[in-house]
Chains A and B, each alone.
Chain A
């Protein structure tokens, strides 16, 4: 290792990139604020038990772990929903009503070096706590859409309800390890493997057919008719109804044309319980944002409370924007050999709201103050 090396999967933001990042964050934060969301800041690390209580032990492979002087294990936060669930359950324990919180944070996930993924990245997101129902789900989805829309990005939101898949699996009559196997294949999007596995299992043929076709169900709510054969299964019809209700609310937000029913998305975290969604742009090969309802997570830290939320990947939005939405600003440089006059001029221009630098390298001249305008490099 050379002493100037940067950790694999970590990134420096140079002034231009940092400015683009900051500009996007400011616009998103402004929108969150106008919708009544308030910022919270949590520690970069948490006790390992906190993270595992929220995300399950399967998360451990993805964690950066450290040890404090007392020998306790700490983890760099791999996402922000769990720390916020912890805050709400402790610091807002007696709060009644609806809480609207947002965050802007760096996130850490350990990845195999050959994967070419960032191990530290940035997320902006909101959590809406204490409200169930389609109005709450629609608010969070509409806010996510707004953040992409105000950047001028072409985008689509994919909408699903995790209850459909979970209830089909739960009532399939298959044992737990088989159900986990199926879930893994669906999460890995290995539809060939899924077909091979299901064809050898003792299950109702119509259920098998639906489970095979589900990852491909995509379109307007009419596509939900393809679940006709399984809607008697407990919980399935309720989930379908909730999905349609949220979709209908999104019409009132004027974004229904950008939303697609998509039974192929199943988010990675186990804590989701209801509506889930992801946002895409044709400019980028991976999702820009994702989120959903997690009604059982808060009970792991304190009083049970329903909740929903989303996170947007800041670097991903910047990639999709390809340098748009950030105009280079002009700088005024003040030179001259009379320091008092130069500084007075600089102060005057700054008070007008201009960006002003003092020329530190060429202090010559005949006492006159010179102001030059140039583009910021």
Chain B
């Protein structure tokens, strides 16, 4: 870790564009940064900054180990990983919710009816923590995608997933049973970098909070 140089981990996918807009607002270079090419590292030595464009779920790992000094990632991913990083700013964009959904015909049943049943999810920690808080025991089945199919094919009785509009739930005859948490994109910072690169990172976080709170970014 060179004390002058800053490495920022950026998530591929739908958060990349608003993340780049934020970097632009911070007067950082973003020319040519994208997730379409096979390039993963974008280096701007003149501005003393480097970006690692990686899978969203890997952002907290890069930051925890100090391979990146800071990163931009959704709260949904942070919640499911329990990494040792500073969560320093709420960026407001990338809104989604964690919900518990069940087949429409069971939507009126009390939650206790789902005790000892199976829940399919991409986010096993979030699902487990939610049911543990309620004093319920469930079997968590970890899937990597198409969670909403699980009840239809008899893999699970319910799902814990992120939704933004709720359209996918409806298409699969599922109904929201409980809202677990609301999530937006966050800035996470390595605990050592925050200290060894304090002179660069501290003003940057302050500026980010200004941009998010009063929209004082560049036009």
Contacts and interface: CB of A to CB of B under 8 A. Distances in A.
B90 A282 contact: no
Contacts, number: 60
B85 A189 contact: yes
Contacts of A218: 195, 198, 202
B67 interface: yes
Contacts of B193: 285
A158 B196 CA distance: 11
Nearest to A285: B66
Interface residues of B, number: 26
Contact of A286 (B3, B75, B191): B191
Interface in A189-221: 189-193, 195, 215-216, 218
Given A189-B191, A190-B87, A260-B195, A285 B3 contact: no
B122 interface: no
Contacts of A260: 195
Contact of B196 (A264, A280, A286): A280
A195 B87 CA distance: 11
B60 to A, nearest CB: 11
B13 to A, nearest CB: 21
Nearest to B64: A285
Interface residues of A, number: 25
A262 B195 contact: yes
Contact of B86 (A191, A195, A282, A284): A191
Nearest to B65: A285
Contacts of A286: 64-66, 84, 191-192
A262 B90 CA distance: 23
B200 interface: no
A287 interface: yes
8 contacts: A215-B86, A218-B202, A262-B195, A283-B1, A284-B192, A285-B64, A285-B66, A286-B65
Given A191-B88, A195-B90, A287-B191, 7 more contacts: A189-B84, A189-B191, A192-B87, A218-B198, A218-B202, A280-B196, A281-B192
